[in-house]
Amino acid sequence: MKEFGFSPADILIPRDGIDLEKWAVVACDQFTSDRSYWNKAEAIVGDSPSTLHITLPEVYLEDSDKEERIKAIDSTMEKYLEEGVFRTLPSSFVLVERKTGSGTRFGLVGKLDLEEYDYSPDSLSLIRATEGTILSRIPPRKEIRKNATLEIPHIMVLISDEKRLVIEPLKAKKDSLEVVYDTDLMLGGGHITGYLVNSGEDVDGVMKAIGKLHDSLDKSNPLLFAMGDGNHSLATAKSAWEDMKKTLSPSELENHPARYALVEIENIFDEGLMFEPIHRVFFGLKSDSFENALRKHSSSFRKWKVESFDKAWNEINEKPGRFMADDGTGLVVYETEGTEKSLSAWTIQSVIDTLLSEDACKVDYIHGAKETLSLAGNGNIAIILPDIHKETFFSAILHDKAYPRKTFSIGHAEEKRYYMEARKIVR
């Protein structure tokens, strides 16, 4: 059966007896400016087997001991394999049920064919980036992947399955499937349950349903899988594969494990899937400098003070071109006119590009409005962006190619995908 880029994988999960609440750690591109979160995670995990010991949180990516951390990660991966920490689910999918404060949603873990993925802005491939890929972020991540035995992904990929053909039939029969993990998640992450999908009937059902989605696409612009989260992780896997394939024979190219990346696909029409905007913080920047840069990317703007977050939030979602800001003196709503594109995230990204080119400040992309606003003041400006509407998500990608980098997130920061499954990427 033709795979259309997605297929079952040899999935590794922790064996019986492993403390799963200590094993599963939130995706490392969350809390990128909050070391206290990772200190709490380390205190919970201690020396227990955990994905915390085999991933590198981005908060440490620029530390002087990065190389030592990477070597320790590689060594720990080998140790976990040798000591039998993992159980293998051969040629399988895993149906994931995730219960969070935002609701319950379902996903399906399998592998994507990197030959069907292209993260370039003008890509027409089956698998595409949905946000701008920052090429400078790939090399340091390739250093982490270079000698790794395993991938432990947090990549979530969206399908537009309005008829609910792919995942929902498995959801309906979950009670008849084997539970392969079932655990609370640390630090407010909710609860996840994994169900084994490996029968011929169920696997064929998934593959046929994906085939129907594929057959319904515009043949000149066939977007089947759109990145939901972990774009730079998938781009890193792709870049590493492009390097490796130059050294392989034709037969090795066909089935080398590094040709694939383990991901979770989710239906954008899942009622439990909530889109959250990713916000921005300008560190060491005055409001006058921010507004001078904003003038370069809009013909005009107006602004007004707002006394409450809820009122400001409603106002920025009433009309395109709006966002809110706080420099420590209170919330302000901005409304821009004459911008290149209507999406506020594009305008703010243009401002970021200008300010960074002038070395005027530093910028971070923050998950969660509360977390973002907590960084306002003391010379910092917090920018809160409006909602992204999932109903028009795929059509926007088809029309505009991609959103600006780090425009949206799926769920709140603590409700993101946690590292649970792994896969060997070496022979």
Q: How many domains does the chain have?
A: 2
Together in a domain, 241 and 290: no
User: Are residue 239 and residue 104 in the same domain, yes or no?
Assistant: yes
Same domain, 268 and 371: no
Q: Does residue 230 share a domain with residue 166?
A: yes
Q: What is the mean pLDDT of residues 65-94?
A: 97
Q: Is 209 a domain residue?
A: yes
Distance CA 326, CA 285 (A): 12
Q: Is 102 exposed, middle or buried (0-12, 13-18, 19+ CB in 10 A)?
A: middle
Same domain flag for 362 and 419: no
Residue 100 counted as domain residue: yes
Segment 348-360 mean pLDDT: 96
Bigger pLDDT: 416 vs 116: 116
Q: Is 394 part of any domain?
A: no
Distances (CA, A) of 304 to 290, 316, 318, 319: 16, 11, 15, 15
Contacts of residue 61, Cβ cutoff 8 Å, sequence gap at least 6: 140
Domain boundaries, position 33: 6-274+412-424
What is the pLDDT at residue 1? Answer: 55
Domain-embedded: residue 117:
yes
The pair of structure tokens assigned to 127 is: 């698998």
The verdict on 229 and 376 lying in the same domain is no
| Residue 49 sits in the same domain as residue 157 | yes
Residue 306 and residue 205 share a domain: no
As a whole number of Å, the end-to-end CA separation of the chain is 25
The per-residue pLDDT of the chain, averaged, comes to 93
Q: Are residues 179 and 30 in the same domain?
A: yes
Bigger pLDDT: 369 or 406? 369
Token readout for 287 is: 């409001």
Highest mean pLDDT among 64-68, 177-181, 227-231: 177-181
Q: What is the pTM of this model?
A: 0.82
The string of pLDDT tens digits covering residues 291-340 is 999 999 999 999 999 999 999 999 999 998 999 999 999 999 999 999 98
Q: With respect to residue 70, please indicate whether it lies within any of the assigned structural domains.
A: yes
Residue spans of alpha helices (H) in 216-366: 231-245, 250-255, 287-295, 309-316, 344-357
| Least confident among 40-54, 144-158, 295-309 | 144-158
Residues 109, 251 within the same domain: yes
In the Cβ-directed half-sphere of 314, how many Cα atoms lie within 13 Å? 5
pLDDT at 101 over 70: yes
HSE toward the beta carbon, residue 11, CA cutoff 13 A: 30
Q: Is the pLDDT of residue 3 over 90?
A: no
Residue 371 confidence (pLDDT) above 80: yes
Question: Does residue 285 register a pLDDT over 90?
Answer: yes
Question: Does residue 127 fall inside a structural domain?
Answer: yes
In a domain, 1, yes or no: no
Contact between 231 and 223 under an 8 Å Cβ cutoff? The reply is no
**Helix, strand or coil for residue 93?**
strand
Token pair 């990317």: residue = 297
Residue 350 pLDDT exceeds 90: yes
Q: Please name the residues in contact with 387: beta carbons below 8 A apart, sequence gap of 6 or more.
A: 275, 277, 317
142 inside domain:
yes
Which comes out higher in pLDDT, residue 414 or 318?
318
